[in-house]
């Protein structure tokens, strides 16, 4: 037994040392960190040509649609948080919308039971895509370059192909059985009686054609004309709901960010229909009432305190959050210092059972396949973007003739409020299905500003409901535990979302003694799993250095110059 603990101790120490020994990527002028090395290089090339962080972010987005189709997309949606050198902070909501003909009970079977296949597979699972509208709006209002300049790299990658990485080849081969169900997907993402291998080129001619139409005609190249007709025609033929009118009427929204402070730093994050910014700020407001010593990281007391706070945060999320164009979200109260202090006073020595916290409905399970990228330029602009198709490769359907994958974001609605889904979780009334409504998200693109109102941390992550806890722990690691951005991202994470009542954790994230102490406090230990894949940046103004880090849990890259 002693030997077992000794091994665990040295494994933990070796993990910590390896996390610290690998320095983040260093740069002087600009940095792009994304899930694809090729896309990160595209963004940095734009910065080198004189583009600003928004130009680079848009170029990176379209490149990801080619090189990282698991989540990078033009058939999905997401959120962008922007800080400009003049002090302006804003956000762009390009989340998908429910089609006009969508209705509350559309995913229930004849007996009134939730059928998850309807919400995750086939054309009924797709919301009206928002990525193209959001990116082009950001470029037009806050960028400095033309559509052609920022999109040409993506077009070249689609038409001429790019070399497949080892892990991307594995992903394509893994999903082959699902890809072959759709002829349009089969011909692009599978090979007859063969597997993809590292280094071969993936060429996407139809996607290149769509990108060319967007370059030429702007949003109309996607939401009207040939591409829109292809989407609506195939949707109708396959029982889907997206019409030409839905596409023509889609609109992004520029929204005021969620603002807050944590230990003297200003937090700028995303508001509804993302729950991320509110939940993050509510958690930080509560944790600000506690003092964490340097040696308390990973301790049972630290994990207990954070987990207890998260129970209240996720209970509030379930009861109060949805698309505020349709539902009155009490933002001011949720992100107030008073609410944070109230939660802090409820944290005792022992765990409070989840069913004693609230009778609100817990959040529906969200897909964990999303992607995030962070960008800063030498001018003082910063951009944090999280975008998604929902499931890995969305609903696995490529639009025939247009070459891009569709999202299955309709699954992020509460299909039947008040009734448990297949995971034993419930969904809230605030997130019920309504025409033209945006589904709730946990995406948490965030920018932390220092006391001089300059970008300090730019961070975000994929991971469904774990996004909030991932971003929160990285911020805590930097501010409370004085870690560099690579170490802050590398360190093992844990997750509690109120229901199910358990603390999930990563490999080497909890010793047996820590688990026993948590159990003695009344906690339930969940499963070992991977929690998020973050992409982050820290700016060191004292030494004039930009530090970038891509999460080793993924295969992205921080690229600077």
Active site residues: 370
Strand 525-528 and strand 503-505: the pairing is: parallel
Q: How many residues does the chain have?
A: 561
Q: In what order do the strands lie in the sheet with 446-449?
A: 25-27, 545-550, 535-540, 455-460, 446-449, 265-269, 258-262
In angstroms, rounded to a whole number, what is the distance separating the alpha carbons of residues 484 and 497? Answer: 27
The span from the CA of 52 to the CA of 375, in Å, is 9
- 494 within 8 A of 303, measured Cβ to Cβ: yes
Q: How many CB atoms lie within 10 A of CB 350?
A: 12
Structure token pair of residue 317: 């999320």
CA–CA separation, 348 and 304 (whole Å): 9
Euclidean distance between CA atoms 443 and 271, whole angstroms: 10
Could you tell me which of 34, 103, 125, 38 has the C-alpha nearest to residue 405?
125
Q: Assign residue 52 a region (left: φ > 0; alpha: ψ between -120 and 50; beta: otherwise).
A: beta
Helix axes 300-320, 467-479, angle to 10 degrees: 140
**Residue 341, both tokens:** 């202090």
């Amino acid at each position: 037994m002693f030997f077992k603990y000794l091994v665990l101790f040295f494994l933990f120490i070796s993990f910590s040392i390896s996390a610290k020994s690998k320095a983040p990527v260093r740069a002087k002028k600009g940095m792009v960190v994304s899930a694809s090395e090729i896309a990160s290089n595209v963004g940095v090339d734009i910065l080198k040509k004189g583009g600003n962080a928004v130009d680079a972010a848009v170029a990176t987005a379209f490149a990801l649609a080619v090189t990282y189709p698991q989540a990078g997309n033009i058939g999905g949606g997401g959120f962008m948080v922007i800080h400009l050198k003049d002090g302006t902070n804003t956000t762009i909501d390009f989340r998908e919308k429910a089609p006009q003909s969508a209705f509350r009970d559309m995913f229930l079977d004849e007996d009134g039971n939730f059928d998850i296949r309807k919400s995750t597979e086939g054309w009924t699972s797709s919301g009206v895509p928002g990525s193209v509208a959001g990116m082009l709006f950001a470029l037009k209002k806050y960028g400095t370059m033309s559509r052609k300049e920022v999109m040409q790299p993506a077009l070249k990658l689609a038409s001429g192909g790019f070399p497949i990485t080892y892990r991307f080849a594995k992903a394509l081969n893994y999903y082959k059985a699902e890809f072959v169900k759709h002829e349009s997907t089969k011909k692009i993402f599978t090979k007859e009686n063969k597997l993809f291998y590292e280094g071969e080129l993936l060429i996407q001619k139809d996607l290149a054609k769509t990108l060319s139409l967007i370059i030429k005609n702007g949003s109309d190249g996607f939401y009207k004309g040939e591409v829109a007709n292809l989407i609506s025609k195939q949707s109708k033929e396959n029982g889907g709901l997206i019409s030409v009118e839905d596409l023509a009427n889609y609109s992004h929204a520029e929204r005021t960010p969620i603002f807050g402070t944590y230990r003297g730093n200003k937090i700028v994050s995303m508001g509804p229909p993302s729950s991320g910014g509110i939940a993050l700020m509510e958690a930080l407001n509560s944790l600000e009432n506690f003092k964490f010593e340097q040696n308390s990281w990973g301790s049972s007391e630290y994990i207990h305190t954070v987990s207890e706070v998260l129970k209240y945060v996720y209970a509030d999320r379930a009861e109060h959050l949805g698309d505020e164009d349709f539902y009155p979200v009490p933002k001011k109260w949720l992100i107030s210092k008073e609410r944070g202090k109230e939660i802090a006073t409820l944290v005792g020595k022992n765990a409070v059972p989840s069913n004693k916290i609230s009778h609100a409905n817990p959040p529906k399970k969200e897909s964990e396949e999303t992607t995030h990228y962070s960008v800063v330029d030498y001018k003082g602009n910063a951009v944090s973007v999280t975008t998604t198709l929902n499931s890995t490769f969305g609903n696995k359907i490529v639009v025939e003739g247009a070459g891009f994958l569709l999202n299955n974001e309709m699954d992020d609605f509460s299909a039947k409020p008040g009734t448990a889904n297949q995971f034993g979780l419930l969904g809230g009334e605030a997130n019920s299905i309504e025409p033209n409504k945006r589904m709730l998200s946990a995406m948490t693109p965030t920018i932390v500003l220092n006391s001089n109102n300059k970008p300090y941390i730019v961070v975000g992550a994929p991971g469904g409901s774990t996004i909030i806890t991932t971003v929160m722990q990285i911020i805590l690691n930097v501010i409370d535990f004085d870690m560099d951005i690579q170490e802050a991202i590398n360190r093992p994470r844990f997750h509690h979302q109120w229901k199910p009542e358990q603390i999930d954790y990563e490999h080497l994230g909890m010793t047996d003694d820590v688990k026993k102490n948590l159990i003695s406090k009344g906690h339930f230990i969940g499963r070992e799993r991977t929690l998020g894949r973050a992409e982050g940046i820290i700016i060191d103004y004292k030494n004039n250095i930009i530090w970038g880090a891509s999460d080793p849990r993924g295969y992205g890259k921080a690229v600077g110059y």
